[in-house]
């Protein structure tokens, strides 16, 4: 299959066959991840391969009981890892302070995601399906403890993989022109923004049908024995008087205030792992 076709067909898969991923396939995925681009080629990344039933269950619990994490035969915890490079620098009469330098952090985060997306694409080409699970950022402390993740290492993304049992269809996307700007950023007017989202989501319509299309996780979670997620979402939609797609996203699914309040917890967990980006006037002066 042409790579373009493969990329256009790729969907996040949350329903996996009960079939292990062969060892040589896992090895290929990991080799490709290791060969991904990396800023300065520093490779501040570690990948924890999770296959044992007990660990899959534990990981699923840590990411909000998303059933596909338990059911997938293979998950990878992608970690941003400054620990290795810090030790190497120290042993070589120098210092690496990535955990205090936001620029290192941003580049390292990008490195991790380059590696993860390389796995996604290779997996797809090998007949596997995968789904990212970003909610691991809500339980950094517990995930570090559960998987023995040391200081200066942050679990930033989980990727669950396996042979698909079913693949979602009709996932809404913008048309490419919405996200593309030639030569200069071209700010869209309100009508164009409205049109872009309207073309993506269509009419809000019936709530159940909307969830089938725009919140496939709820539907899939219930299919896999979740505890009434769909019912919960429909009730909340009614309670919060959700009238449109934007309200669904930012009043219910990602409530704006709660997202901001979450900063404290997130920053605390990062600090606990040794990361902090406070402005240091002494260092600033030296620079």
Ligand X SMILES: Cc1cc2nc3c(=O)[nH]c(=O)nc-3n(C[C@H](O)[C@H](O)[C@H](O)COP(=O)(O)O)c2cc1C
Per CB under 6 A, residues contacting ligand X are 11-12, 14, 66, 131-135, 171, 217
Residue 50 CB contacts under 8 Å (≥ 6 apart), including other chains: 56, 59, 74, 75, 76, 77, 147
- Residue nearest ligand X, CB atom distance: 134
Rounded to a whole number of angstroms, the minimum distance from the CB of residue 136 to ligand X is: 8
- Give me the least distance between CB of 99 and ligand X, in Å please: 22
Q: Of the two residues 69 and 273, which places its CB atom closer to ligand X in the complex?
A: 69
Task: State which residue, 22 or 134, has the beta carbon closest to ligand X.
Answer: 134
> Which residue number, 134 or 150, has a Cβ lying nearer to ligand X?
134
Q: Which is nearer to ligand X, 89 or 178 (CB)?
A: 178
**Residue 64 Cβ vs ligand X, minimum distance, rounded to whole Å:** 7
Give whichever of 85 and 124 is closer to ligand X, judged by the CB atom: 124
Give the 3-state secondary structure of 194-243: HHHHHHHHCCCCCHHHHHHHHCHHHHHHHHCCCCCHHHHHHHHHHHCCCC
Rounded to a whole number of angstroms, the minimum distance from the CB of residue 211 to ligand X is: 12
257 burial via Cβ count (<10 Å: 0-12, 13-18, 19+)? exposed
Q: Smallest gap, in angstroms, from Cβ of residue 60 to ligand X?
A: 11
Q: Are 40 and 101 in contact (CB under 8 A)?
A: no
How many other CB atoms are found less than 10 A from the CB of residue 75?
Answer: 25
- R_g (Cα) of the chain, nearest Å: 21
């Amino acid at each position: 299959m042409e790579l373009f076709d493969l990329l256009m067909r790729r969907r996040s898969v949350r329903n996996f066959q009960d079939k292990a991923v062969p060892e040589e396939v896992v090895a290929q995925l990991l080799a490709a991840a290791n060969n991904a681009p990396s800023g300065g080629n520093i490779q501040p990344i570690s990948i924890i391969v999770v296959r044992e039933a007990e660990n899959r269950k534990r990981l699923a619990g840590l990411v909000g009981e998303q059933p596909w994490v338990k059911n997938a035969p293979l998950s990878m915890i992608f970690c941003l890892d400054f620990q290795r490079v810090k030790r190497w620098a120290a042993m070589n009469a120098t210092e690496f302070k990535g955990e205090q330098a936001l620029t290192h952090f941003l580049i390292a985060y990008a490195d991790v995601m380059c590696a993860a997306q390389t796995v996604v694409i290779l997996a797809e080409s090998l007949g596997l399906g995968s789904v990212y699970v970003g909610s691991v950022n809500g339980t950094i402390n517990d995930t570090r403890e559960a998987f023995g993740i040391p200081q200066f290492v942050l679990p930033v993304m989980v990727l669950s993989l396996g042979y698909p049992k079913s693949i979602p269809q009709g996932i809404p996307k913008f048309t490419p022109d919405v996200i593309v700007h030639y030569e200069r950023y071209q700010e869209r007017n309100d009508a164009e923004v409205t049109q872009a989202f309207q073309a993506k989501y269509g009419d809000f319509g019936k709530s159940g049908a909307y969830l089938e299309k725009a919140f496939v996780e709820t539907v899939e979670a219930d299919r896999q024995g979740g505890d009434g997620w769909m019912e919960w979402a429909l009730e909340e939609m009614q309670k919060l008087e959700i009238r449109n797609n934007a309200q669904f996203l930012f009043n219910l699914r990602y409530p704006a205030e709660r997202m901001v309040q979450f900063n404290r917890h997130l920053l605390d967990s990062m600090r606990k792992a040794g990361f902090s980006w406070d402005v240091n006037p002494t260092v600033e002066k030296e620079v």
